[in-house]
Amino acid sequence: MANILDSEASVEAAVVADALEKFLELNDPKEMTYEEFRGAQFDHGLAWVQFDKGSGGLGVSPVFQRQVEASLQASGAKPMQPAMFFMHLAGPTIHTHGDDANKKRFLRPMFTGEERWCQLFSEPGAGSDFAGLATRAIADGEEWVVNGQKVWNTMAHLGDWGMLVTRTNPEVPKHRGLTYFAVDMHSDGVEVRPLRQITGEAEFNEVYLTDARVPDSNRIGDVGDGWRVSLTTLMNERNAIGVGGGGAPKTGSGPVSLLTKLWREKSEEDRDAVTLDTMMKLYVRSEAQRLTNMRAVANSRKGNPGPEMSIAKLAFAELNKDVLSTAVDMMGMSGQTGFDYTFRRPEDLSVDGSESGIQHGFLRVRANSIEGGTSEIMRNILGEQVLGLPGEPRVDKDVAWIEVPRN
């Protein structure tokens, strides 16, 4: 079996290397716009290498995507714009569950950045209990009329399209009455309102849908199959947050780089053995996570990530909080003052917040243990689906959604 897998990997490596060589012969990132270059990358099957040919891929293992990104950046290509983060969620979902028309319509402009995406999942009454959502979609001919409210919608103010999950059948148990759509964020009946965070910015939003009309052609997956489609989005979200995309991360990168930089800038008399020991433990944890994530990517096969990726997401959230809390402590009183809380609508997304400095990162990473599934939910998933431990009692699992008592 090992020989067969090695042989397949060798063949796939040759396919990727050949595609890369031909692509770079014809396309120079220094002479093309960002969108032009990424469009050509898609057309050559180097957008998501694990996708089918014609849909931005080569049909090979996703392990080769980091190799592709590293090679392209070495040739002068610009990295993915941070605000395009949600292509890591929407792309695999549409490729897995969408029909040919969905793939043709959405994948290429999503990858080039011509159309940005956001996620419309959580609701005021359905956060961790996502399947209990109440946003209704009612069929009206070849369209669906949608009414409801979504919340904690990251970068929705920049979104052209939203990944929308609705309840289309309230007469069945909650997991079976959901349907997944791509909704035009600029259409009538879609209103985006800012949610100001402790950083001062409004990266998060709430979205109101009032008689918004969505064509049935924008449905992703079958009617009533929205839960299964959503799981693909959620698993890829946890993978994108915990492991990240693009090329392999460098040694000492991420939030821990702020901590080590701060230590180097300290004078000898301001350094002490206790702080050094704490910093080195965090550095070792950061490196262990980075290398573990690289190994997970190297071992990945075709298909979408599984529940085990909750490990990476959980570790990411806990490590970031510990690193940036230590960094603020090292700053002393200066870490408590001088931060700009001015209200603003960010144009880019930094999941760990480190790109805007220690104080911003310290405040932003509070969200890491909530977004993409809370740390408590991650532990439940790992316990039940990875370790095989007994699940928590769920008394409403087999009850029709409409019959479940609500406040």
Catalytic residue, chosen from 123, 237, 355, 384, is 237
CA angle 386–232–223, rounded 5-degree value: 125
Rounded Cα distance between 75 and 186, Å, is: 36
Rg (CA), the chain: 22
How many angstroms separate the Cα of 70 from the Cα of each of 26, 76, 151, 245, 405?
A: 18, 10, 35, 11, 52
- Distance between CA atoms of residues 228 and 180, nearest Å: 9
DSSP assignments along 358-392, one per residue: HHHHHHHGGGGGTTTS-HHHHHHHIIIIIS-PPPP
Query: What is d(CA 29, CA 36) in angstroms, rounded to the nearest whole number?
Result: 9
> Is 237 a residue of the active site?
yes
Amino acid at 178: L
Dump strand ranges (E) for 76-203: 117-120, 136-140, 143-151, 161-167, 178-184, 190-195
CB 127 within 8 A of CB 171: no
In the numeric block, the tokens 């950061």 are attached to 286
Given a contact cutoff of 8 angstroms between Cβ atoms, the answer to whether 315 and 289 are in contact is: yes
Q: Among residues 381, 94, 111, which one has the least CA distance to residue 229?
A: 94
Contact 90, 117 (CB under 8 A): yes
Residue with tokens 């057309």: 43
Strands 178-184 and 161-167: antiparallel
121-126's contacts with Cβ under 8 Å and 24+ in sequence apart are 121/150, 121/163, 121/165, 121/230, 121/233, 122/150, 122/151, 122/152, 122/153, 123/148, 123/149, 123/150, 123/151, 124/149, 124/151, 125/406, 125/407
Bridge pairing between strands 161-167 and 117-120: parallel
Residues with catalytic roles: 237
